[in-house]
Amino acid sequence: MKVINLDHISSNPLLPEVKAAMIEAINADYANPSSQHTPGEAAATFLEKAREQVAGLINSATPKEVVFTSGGTESNNHAVKGVALANMEKGKHIITTNIEHNSVIRSLKRLQSQGFQITSVSVDEGGRVDPRNIADAIRKDTILVSVMHSNNETGTIQPIQEIGEITRKNKVIFHCDAVDSVGMVPVDVRQLNVDLLSFASNSFYGPTGVGWLYIRKGTRVFPMLDGGVQEGNKRAGTENLIGIIGMGVAAEAAARDLKTRMAYLSGLKEKFLRALPDYVTECIINTHPEFSLPHLVSISPRYIEGESVMLMLDDEQIAVSTRSACATGSLRASHVLLSIGLSHADAQGTLVIAFGVDNTEEDVDTFLEKLQKTVKTLRDISPLYQKIHGAG
């Protein structure tokens, strides 16, 4: 029996055209793109083609602003630590929010232990940052603001363009983690007023372990990987050419299919949200009703454990997640959900559902039925639920 994958935030199947391009690259035995002989030069053309493809997806002024990395985590580490270390004579104050990905939060903690000061701005109950709070937090020694484009647990989209206007006016460098947005909603680096954006290929049906960091021309940032002259001296290391070729094709497909993809995914999500109350009562919706990713929805069916729901659905061949895959194994409630005001119990009862282009309307129907059954089973044995609703 085929598994219904409703966890497209942790991983995505590769597009058929991405698979074909990667298999072709594997069979072609390309040389090192930095080698000066003809096979090396040929390999370099494939690298540069992919750079143009990803630059096109985000409307970068030039492909030279694209620095290939090993994924979203490296991009975020590079941006945050690279800007901090390159600009510390100007100041050591950095502004962020309470709901960032761990790769930003823990990079900032690392910097904190090196004498940097961090201001972390709260979000409202809808999970959004008020740009005025960012403006108020800016000091004379602020060198960097880092705010994510969309949250990987709730799908809520932030007012990046407005924050970018503020950072630009204050001459503060602005980094945005756009890992979960790219290929799902339009991301235009020029419109957004950002200086650095992080991306990962697997967010838009490309391979894992590859991504890029957009660095606007003129932005002062140190490399994180020091060494060879690759990537215009911005990121050393022989490139993951097979992965980068796959990512380039995925980026071109995302640019081409963005509107269709958004319409299809938001159709599945709306169908699910419309029907949900008929299947599960007392269920909190954590995703912003207006500003959110088309494919992601976070729900908290009350009085039960999200992990139990996930495991029971897994037995029914349905894959969902309870939180960021990067935080698996942590027993603590999600910092993102606590930040939007959920109680510990409700946060622990949360499911993240992320639809993908491989899902069908039937998948949504099957999921709703199985979810109803699972929630009922768990509530029947939940002391909390029984206490509140009585045993009959």
Q: Which of the residues 316 through 375 are near a copy of itself (CB under 8 A)?
A: 319-322, 324-330
236 binds a copy of itself (CB under 8 A): yes
Q: Which of 88, 137, 255, 326 is catalytic?
A: 326
Please say which residue, 152 or 167, places its beta carbon nearer to a copy of itself. Answer: 152
Pattern of binders to a copy of itself over 242-261, x per CB under 8 A? xxx-----------------
135 binds a copy of itself (CB under 8 A): no
The stretch among 15-23, 260-268, 280-288, 332-340 that binds a copy of itself (CB under 8 A) is: 15-23
> Taking the complex as a whole, how short is the minimal distance between the CB of residue 161 and a copy of itself, in angstroms?
26
Please say which residue, 207 or 349, places its beta carbon nearer to a copy of itself. Answer: 207
> Taking the complex as a whole, how short is the minimal distance between the CB of residue 74 and a copy of itself, in angstroms?
6
Please say which residue, 39 or 277, places its beta carbon nearer to a copy of itself. Answer: 39
Query: Scanning residues 204 to 233, which ones bind a copy of itself (CB under 8 A)?
Result: 207-210, 222, 224-230
Query: Scanning residues 259 to 318, which ones bind a copy of itself (CB under 8 A)?
Result: 307, 310-311, 313-314
Binding residues with a copy of itself: total (CB under 8 A): 79
> Taking the complex as a whole, how short is the minimal distance between the CB of residue 2 and a copy of itself, in angstroms?
11
Active-site residue flag, 326: yes
Query: Scanning residues 89 to 118, which ones bind a copy of itself (CB under 8 A)?
Result: 101-104, 106-107, 109-110
Distances in Å between the alpha carbon of 299 and those of 153, 154, 326?
Answer: 10, 9, 19
239 binds a copy of itself (CB under 8 A): yes
Among 96, 202, 219, 339, binds a copy of itself (CB under 8 A): 202
Please say which residue, 31 or 118, places its beta carbon nearer to a copy of itself. Answer: 31
> Taking the complex as a whole, how short is the minimal distance between the CB of residue 315 and a copy of itself, in angstroms?
9
Catalytic residues: 326
